[in-house]
Structure 1
């Protein structure tokens, strides 16, 4: 009977595989139209993205029965946005997909992802077609490629939700201690539920996207208990995920880098208070 324990995991694997294979083949076929119509190429891959992420959301919410509890602002369905979030686990990814699906924007999600991911069969290869931004965490090494992607988004007027986990990595006790030590030396606030944001990336993204963005969405994700792995979430081992979103119009944000850095830090101080409220009450505040 032990083998029965692996049936749900096998189902998830087959479900994802059946999604990925035809979609990757569609992406490969879309290369044929690239020399003639980059607009059509991007439209095809937007459809691929919407289908895959939409499928994952169906798997999580409808099949696995995970309840996603949204709070905060209602996000519009037609708006280019820079999405910033705390990062506790890989399960944060389907949580953000659920938020995007709610606003009919699953096909427009683009991620900052670690460079080695592009070598992962299926998902990594597929993201190469979606204007996702692969980074090595070395700005001098990443700068030219990142700025080129920003330029492509602007020039081709590509719709997007560009997602960045501003802390740069998933939170762990060891990483939190390092973040706190850095903050203490720099005279920054002490955070215990989130890590300090890496504001250089925020500044560069705000500058690089130029006027081709209308808002910044500040997302906070919370789990009841220990943050799960992505497999646990898709298997329904987690009953609920909490996603809080705040929308800020770009016109309201500072235009200089120092002001942007201070603005991002202020959001993380708010996020700290929001997470503290969540830990105490089991839910985020309504606003």
Structure 2
């Protein structure tokens, strides 16, 4: 009978430990994913904005030296990410491939112009900056027109602001849930030992002495959950880098390392604080209240 009861207690204890580790792992994994997304959100936003091209068209009287000089100018410009020179012949061929017929046959000439497709750095793809850049380029009298999707630029920046705001809200919400879930799991674990805590207190053990083994055990469980979360996050990073190498998600190793260390630190901190206050609660209860 005693052996059967002991086995039941062991199973219940193991189940309690497992629930704590699982809670810590799931919560820290989600927080870690959110942290990685936040540190890469600017890179993702810039990657999208840098795909928006600004096309600069030259007048027909602009000779090769003028066009090449413009290329040298924008190459040295701090706002240029990349650029491509497109001759009017190459543009005509591209249009022919798109529409499926040679439009020059019935026009008799090529109406297109030599141009540069300029991709700006993400930080400059905002309304004020791009307007100043456009105004500066238009000072060149050999430029006939500058074309880019103004509505798309405004839409992208507005949506990035909205997404950033929601990320902050979700981060705060998840942080609260993380504390509550882990705290709840640890309190349930300690609740099953409330009679042992009170018995130790009644025979003269100090609060610090009683609290120490519970805190150390919880920290160990928190570390296990945190390490599992870190390993899972590393797996996600490797998968994303392999599947989407253009994102360069592993470039900022310092920030990634900081997020992973933060996950470990949060795992230890939350389990320590939750266990401290949970044991303190049972230490302060009267014996009659334990039932």
TM-score between both structures, scaled by the size of structure 1: 0.27
More helix as a share of residues: 2
TM-score between both structures, scaled by the size of structure 2: 0.27
- Structure number with larger C-alpha Rg: 2
More strand as a share of residues: 1
